Amino acid sequence: MSSATTPRRGAHLRRSDIPAALPGARRASGAGAVLGAVLDHGPVARSTVARLTGLSPAAVSGHCGVLMGRGLLRESRETTGPRGLGRPHVPVEVDGDRYLVAGAHIAVTHTTLSLVDLRGRIVAEERRPHEDTAPGPVLEGLADRLPRLVTAHAQGRTVLALGAATGHWVDPSAGVVVRHPQLGWRDVAVRSVLADATGLPVHLDSHARALARAEQLVGQRATRSSAVLLFVGNVVDAAFVTAGGVHQGPRSAAGRVAHLPVGVAHRP
């Protein structure tokens, strides 16, 4: 069922020290390439980042300066290359001490909240069974628990955003759980409800596609451009990665394979 009930507003986590988006698509794309290369290979010299990304050394230095200014990268204490005359190569790495990302998984029997640093390492995680599976109580519970988890484990780090995932049919562009039969949810505006309750930017997707995107960020590089991920639990879903992108399908319905017809079995 859909829910018109909005959770009461909890403690907002949005803070003024969250870095703003980079201006311009081209500049943001270059900075993203640099950040991705450092995430994969760091600590890594800027010259190596230039070789990995195809960007000029000057562009890489500029992007590194901007990303360090936003607290996303930092210079490592390690140095690379032979010791001798000239300026040493000071590598850069992802700064895991400034920011965190929150995650929420809405399963059939429970919800899980987590905090993850920018290197993909889990800082804290808690699971709680549902007392009521209606959208209002579930989302209100998540919004109420998140500030307490942050207070207990963030150690002064700022939460940048909240990623939420659940099974069945999820439309990430609309931020809506279109249909979840086991929970009885239909057309539930999860993104807007959680964003209003927490003050954080919220991204919603199916759990299979969320897992596929996590693999693309911090998993094996060899499987990032082409992969199939099958989620089997109380819900059976799939995600398809082709040409480096996660396939969505019409209204993001791709991956609903629980009732996929496979033909009639014939006994001899």
What CATH number corresponds to the domain at position 122?
A: 3.30.420.40
The CA–CA distances, whole Å, from 130 to 4, 68, 107, 139, 180 equal 19, 41, 9, 11, 15
> Structure tokens of 187?
């057309």
248 lies in a domain?
Answer: yes
Q: Is residue 65 located within the same domain as residue 112?
A: no
pTM of the model: 0.81
Q: Is residue 227 located within the same domain as residue 211?
A: yes
| Domain ranges, residue 29 | 25-94
Q: Is residue 119 located within the same domain as residue 224?
A: yes
Q: How many domains does the chain have?
A: 2
Q: Is residue 232 located within the same domain as residue 128?
A: yes
178 lies in a domain?
Answer: yes
pLDDT attached to residue 29:
86
Q: Is residue 144 located within the same domain as residue 211?
A: yes
State the Cα–Cα distance between residues 165 and 142, nearest whole angstrom. 12
14 lies in a domain?
Answer: no
User: What angle separates helix 57-69 from helix 25-41, to the nearest 10 degrees?
Assistant: 90
- The 10s digit of each residue's pLDDT in 220-240 is 777 778 888 888 888 888 888
> Structure tokens of 132?
């009521």
- The 10s digit of each residue's pLDDT in 23-57 is 554 555 899 999 999 999 999 999 999 999 999 99
Per-residue DSSP letters for 212-259? HHHHHHHS-GGGSSSEEEEEESSSEEEEEEETTEE---GGG-TT--TT
Look at residues 38, 60, 94 and tell me which one is the last residue of a structural domain. 94
pLDDT attached to residue 18:
59
- The 10s digit of each residue's pLDDT in 175-221 is 999 999 999 999 999 999 999 999 999 999 998 999 888 888 888 77
226 lies in a domain?
Answer: yes
Give, as one character, the DSSP assignment of residue 19.
P
Nearest to 224 by CA among 233, 232, 235, 215: 215
- 241-245 long-range contacts (CB < 8 A, ≥24 apart) are 241/212, 241/216, 244/216
Helix, strand and coil percent figures for the chain, each rounded to 5: 30, 30, 40
Give the CA dihedral 190, 191, 197, 200, nearest 10 degrees: 150
Report which of residues 11 and 58 the model is more confident about.
Answer: 58
